[in-house]
Amino acid sequence: MEVVASLLSGLPVAAVLVGPDARILAANQAAREMLGQAIEGRHFLTAMRQPDLRAAIEATASDGTQRSISYQTAQDGRDTTFRAHVAGVAVDARARGVLVSFEDLTEREQAAQMRRDFVANVSHELRTPLTALMGFIETLQGPARRDEAAIDRFLAIMAREAARMERLVRDLLSLSRVEGEERVRPRDPVDLVGVIATVVTMLRPLARERGCTLRFAPGKPCLVPGNADQLQQVFTNLVENAIKYGGADNRVEITLAPHPDDVTLRGPAIAVTVRDRGPGIDPLHIPRLTERFYRVDTHRSREMGGTGLGLAIVKHIVNRHRGRLRITSRPGEGSSFAVILPRWDG
C-alpha cells in the first residue's frame, strides 16, 4: 500500500482508493483535507455521502466501467461544485477496487455564471434604449410623420437614448481594456495634484449646474507610479458621482493626505479622498458597489446617465496601480471614497 499511497500523493487533485471490501485503502492529503483526516480504513459511505457519488462508486465496483458525475456540496461555509471521476483499478493480482478523484469546478462555475450574468445585463441595458428608439422610429414613420412638435420631442428622446447606448459601449470597452492590463503595473511618475486639478476644471460646470460646491486646494506636486489617463478616469468617475448623487446644496471636497505605511502597499502611500455631503449609502450596499451593473437605485442611476460600470472600472484601475479603494458612508451623513496609492519611489 505504500506504493499506492505514494502514487496518490503525486496526483494534483484529491484522490481516494476504495478497496474490494468497500473500505478506503488510501487517500492523499488533498482528499483528507476535503473528506476528513481519519478516513482511511472506514467504509466509503461514511466519508462520501452524496447519493449520486455513492451510486457511481457501487456501480463501478460492480462492472468496472468508468463514470463521471458532478455534484454540489457545502464546504467551509460556501457552496462548492465537484466533478468526481470514478474508475475501476487493480488493487493486487486478485482484487479490484475503485479510484475516485475529485476536480473542484467551483471557480469555473462561478466564472461561467459571471459571464452569463454579464451577457444578460448587457443585453438588458441595450434592449431598453433600443426598444425606445425602434418605437419612436416607427411612430415617426407613421402617425407623426408630419407632426413637427412630435418630431422635435421624439428626436430629443432618441438622441438621449442613443447617447446612453454610446456611454454603455464606451464603458464596456474601457472595462475590457482595463481588465486586460490589470496585471501590468504602470511605472511612469504621475502628479496626482495635476490630474485632480484637471478633473476639477472639467467638472466645475456640472457642479454649478447641480448647485454643488466643489472644493480642492492644490498643493505641492505629489508623484505616484501610474497611468495619467487612467487615474484621471478614476477621479472623474468619483467626483462626477459625488456631484450627481449628492443631492441639493451638496458640497464635494477632494483632499490629498499622506497615508501611514500600509503593509499591503509595502511602503509610503498617498490617500485621495472624495467626500460629499449627500444622503449617504446604506452599509448593506457598500460591499457590492464595485460589482458590474450593481446599482443602489436603478431608476435614479439611469436618470443620471449611469451605466452601472463606473465603479467596476475604478476598482480595476486602482488594482492595476496596486492601490486600494475604501468606501465609507452612512445614511444622512454623506459618502467618502478614498483611493490609496503607493508613492513614487524613483
Q: What is the tens place of the pLDDT at every residue in 45-55?
A: 888 888 899 99
Q: Among 247, 328, 337, which residue's Cα sits nearest to residue 285? A: 328
Mean pLDDT, residues 318-335 taken together: 90
pLDDT band at 6 (very low <50, low <70, confident <90, very high): confident
Between 192 and 267, whose confidence is greater? Answer: 192
Provide the CATH number for the domain around residue 168.
Answer: 1.10.287.130
Q: Choose one of 181, 208, 227: the last residue of a domain.
A: 181
SS (H, E, C) 142-177: CCCCCCHHHHHHHHHHHHHHHHHHHHHHHHHHHHHH
Are residues 170 and 188 part of one domain?
no
19: Cβ–Cβ under 8 A, 6 or more apart, which residues?
Answer: 25, 91, 95, 97
Quote the pLDDT of residue 195.
Answer: 94
Strands 251-262 and 213-216: parallel
**Set of cell numbers at residue 145:** 410623420
Are residues 140 and 231 part of one domain?
no
Provide the CATH number for the domain around residue 277.
Answer: 3.30.565.10
Say whether pLDDT at 225 is over 90: yes
- Produce one character per residue of 216-246: b if its CB has 16 or more CB atoms within 10 Å, e if not: beeeeebbbbbbbebbbbbbbbbbbbbbbbb
Quote the pLDDT of residue 77.
Answer: 66
Are residues 124 and 16 part of one domain?
no
Are residues 196 and 97 part of one domain?
no
Are residues 203 and 87 part of one domain?
no
Give me the phi and psi of 122, to 5 degrees please. -60, -45
In this predicted model, what pLDDT tens digit does every residue of 120-161 receive, in sequence order? 777 777 887 888 888 888 888 888 788 888 888 888 888 888
Strands 24-27 and 14-18: antiparallel
Are residues 343 and 209 part of one domain?
yes
Say whether pLDDT at 84 is over 70: yes
- Which residue in this structure is represented by grid cell 438588458? 124
Print the domain residue range for 280.
184-346
pLDDT band at 76 (very low <50, low <70, confident <90, very high): low
Provide the CATH number for the domain around residue 87.
Answer: 3.30.450.20
Are residues 157 and 60 part of one domain?
no
Mean pLDDT, residues 191-199 taken together: 94
Are residues 245 and 215 part of one domain?
yes
Mean pLDDT, residues 64-83 taken together: 83
Distance between alpha carbon 9 and the CA centroid of its chain, in Å? 35
Q: Tally Cβ neighbours within 10 Å of residue 37.
A: 9
Are residues 136 and 17 part of one domain?
no
pLDDT band at 303 (very low <50, low <70, confident <90, very high): low
Are residues 203 and 346 part of one domain?
yes
Q: Mean pLDDT of all residues in the chain? A: 85
SS3 135: helix
Quote the pLDDT of residue 8.
Answer: 81
Structural domains in the chain (count): 3
Are residues 165 and 74 part of one domain?
no
Q: Choose one of 104, 127, 153: the last residue of a domain.
A: 104
Say whether pLDDT at 262 is over 80: no
Lowest-confidence segment of 49-53, 130-134, 297-301, 336-340 by average pLDDT: 297-301
- Which residue in this structure is represented by grid cell 476504495? 18
Are residues 317 and 216 part of one domain?
yes
d(CA 318, CA 320): 5
Q: Choose one of 150, 181, 212: the last residue of a domain.
A: 181
